[in-house]
Amino acid sequence: MNKLNKLTEQVEDYLRFSQIERGLSANTITAYKQDLSSFIDFLQKENLTSWPTKAIDIDAFLAEQRDQKKATSSISRLISSLRKFYQWLVRQNIQKLNPMLEIDSPKKRRPLPVALTTVEVTDLLKQPDIKKKLGLRDRALLETLYATGIRVSELINLKFTDLHEELKLVKVFGKGSKERLIPISKVALSWIDSYKEKVRDPLILKVGKNTDFIFLNSRGGSLTRQAVWQIIKHYCKLAGIQKNVTPHTLRHTFATHLLENGADLRVVQEILGHSDISTTQIYTNLSQKHIIQVYEKTHPRI
């Protein structure tokens, strides 16, 4: 029997095992087959007739895949497929050595979050028609998001008992029900007060619902995440903002603007409620871009 045919048969045995014993989906099996077939093609070109036992051979295969401009996610999947396959080979006593133990998965590059400029934020905040009831609510809502950097899930659960207006602080319950006190601007508080007096309290009286949630829908119920998402999208469109804005964008914008204006990273971490500072550090990339732009614009010898 051709030795390469033997390798192909072993792959087929592994795929049957994965499907029957592990119960993997048809899509996963197809992905494994594609990855392992590419590996066999590489072995054939390199005149290798058995599964490599040295990490250098695996690295050569992965380097070839990178040369073909394969995405980092595709390389990660290849490594995962080979890692599981080699584990099976060792368990079946087909292979004694597992070179995949020496192969690290590539680090995934986290995409930089989208942030609005100060001009875009100003344009966005101007869009709600504050002469209308929902427009006044929406202005207060947008001002609160930008003033505090809270998550949308935290916003819709915000209650009046969480506001400490005299201290300009708001109590927020974040992920894992972790409580934190964060600053809120006098501007945002004034919009909340105006919304409460002119819109929210009359609505509560009208519908007869007694609730402490700050931001309500037109029927007196609490807002949903989807409703907030639609509100933000609507006003971004009116403001002519072309960026892909999500409910998290104002949170990203808040953090970026603080850092651009000299805020300490640890302070921003505390306000955002990040347990790990590495999560907050992604915003330093955005503020570094701002620093470079300012430098190039203002330095006389550029």
pLDDT digits (tens, 9 = 90+) for 160-209: 999 999 999 999 988 767 889 999 999 999 999 999 999 999 999 998 88
Tell me, yes or no, whether 18 lies in a domain. Answer: yes
Q: What's the confidence (pLDDT) of residue 286?
A: 61
* pLDDT beyond 80 at 249: yes
Tell me, yes or no, whether 246 lies in a domain. Answer: yes
**Least confident piece of the model among 62-66, 74-78, 146-150, 177-181:** 177-181
Where b means 16+ CB within 10 Å and e means fewer, 130-158 reads beebebbbbbbbbbbbbbbbbbbebbbbb
**Least confident piece of the model among 20-24, 60-64, 288-292:** 288-292
**Same domain? 155 vs 280:** yes
Which residues are within 8 A (CB) of 224 and not within 5 positions of it... i.e. 6 or more apart?
A: 156
**Catalytic option among 175, 225, 237, 266:** 175
44: part of which helix (H) or strand (E)?
helix 26-45
Confidence of residue 293 (pLDDT cuts 50, 70, 90): low
Q: What's the confidence (pLDDT) of residue 71?
A: 83
Domain count, the chain: 2
**Least confident piece of the model among 101-115, 137-151, 178-192, 263-277:** 101-115
Tell me, yes or no, whether 222 lies in a domain. Answer: yes
What is the average pLDDT across 279-294?
68
**Catalytic option among 196, 251, 252, 257:** 251
**Same domain? 86 vs 187:** no
pLDDT digits (tens, 9 = 90+) for 201-220: 999 999 888 899 999 999 99
Q: What's the confidence (pLDDT) of residue 1?
A: 46
Q: What's the confidence (pLDDT) of residue 108?
A: 62
Nearest alpha-carbon partner for 62 in 83, 76, 50, 44: 76
In this structure, what DSSP letter does residue 213 have? B
Quote the distance between the C-alpha of residue 156 and its chain's center: 20
**Same domain? 184 vs 257:** yes
Q: What's the confidence (pLDDT) of residue 121?
A: 96
Could you say which of 77, 102, 127 is where a domain stops?
102
175 is catalytic: yes
Confidence of residue 137 (pLDDT cuts 50, 70, 90): very high
22 is catalytic: no
**Same domain? 140 vs 281:** yes
**Same domain? 128 vs 58:** no
**Same domain? 140 vs 283:** yes
Tell me, yes or no, whether 111 lies in a domain. Answer: no
Tell me, yes or no, whether 210 lies in a domain. Answer: yes
In the block, residue with structure tokens 């040295």: 54
Could you say which of 38, 70, 102 is where a domain stops?
102
**Same domain? 131 vs 54:** no
168 is catalytic: no
219 is catalytic: no
Q: What's the confidence (pLDDT) of residue 263?
A: 86
Name residue 199's amino acid: V
* pLDDT beyond 60 at 299: no
171: part of which helix (H) or strand (E)?
strand 169-173
pLDDT digits (tens, 9 = 90+) for 14-46: 999 999 988 888 888 999 999 999 999 999 998
The residue ranking higher by pLDDT, 275 or 134, is 134
Tell me, yes or no, whether 127 lies in a domain. Answer: yes
**Same domain? 78 vs 150:** no
The residue ranking higher by pLDDT, 286 or 130, is 130
Please report the beta strands in 7-90, taking only residues with DSSP state E, as ranges in sequence order.
none
Tell me, yes or no, whether 109 lies in a domain. Answer: no
**Catalytic option among 137, 151, 252, 257:** 151
* pLDDT beyond 60 at 229: yes
**Same domain? 144 vs 183:** yes
Cα angle value 227/233/234 (rounded, 5°): 90
**What CATH number corresponds to the domain at position 287?**
1.10.443.10
Cα(249)–Cα(255) distance, integer angstroms? 10
Sheet with strand 163-164: strands edge to edge: 163-164, 169-173, 179-183
**Same domain? 167 vs 288:** yes
**Same domain? 126 vs 83:** no
**Catalytic option among 14, 32, 86, 283:** 283
Could you say which of 102, 132, 151 is where a domain stops?
102
Tell me, yes or no, whether 110 lies in a domain. Answer: no
* pLDDT beyond 90 at 104: no
Q: What's the confidence (pLDDT) of residue 139?
A: 98
Where b means 16+ CB within 10 Å and e means fewer, 107-121 reads eeeeeebebbeeebb
Given a contact cutoff of 8 angstroms between Cβ atoms, the answer to whether 50 and 56 are in contact is: no
Q: Percent of the chain at pLDDT above 90? A: 64
pLDDT digits (tens, 9 = 90+) for 261-277: 888 888 888 899 887 78
**What CATH number corresponds to the domain at position 47?**
1.10.150.130
The residue ranking higher by pLDDT, 3 or 118, is 118
pLDDT averaged over every residue in the chain: 89
234 is catalytic: no
**Same domain? 207 vs 161:** yes
The residue segments making up the domain with residue 238 are 118-298
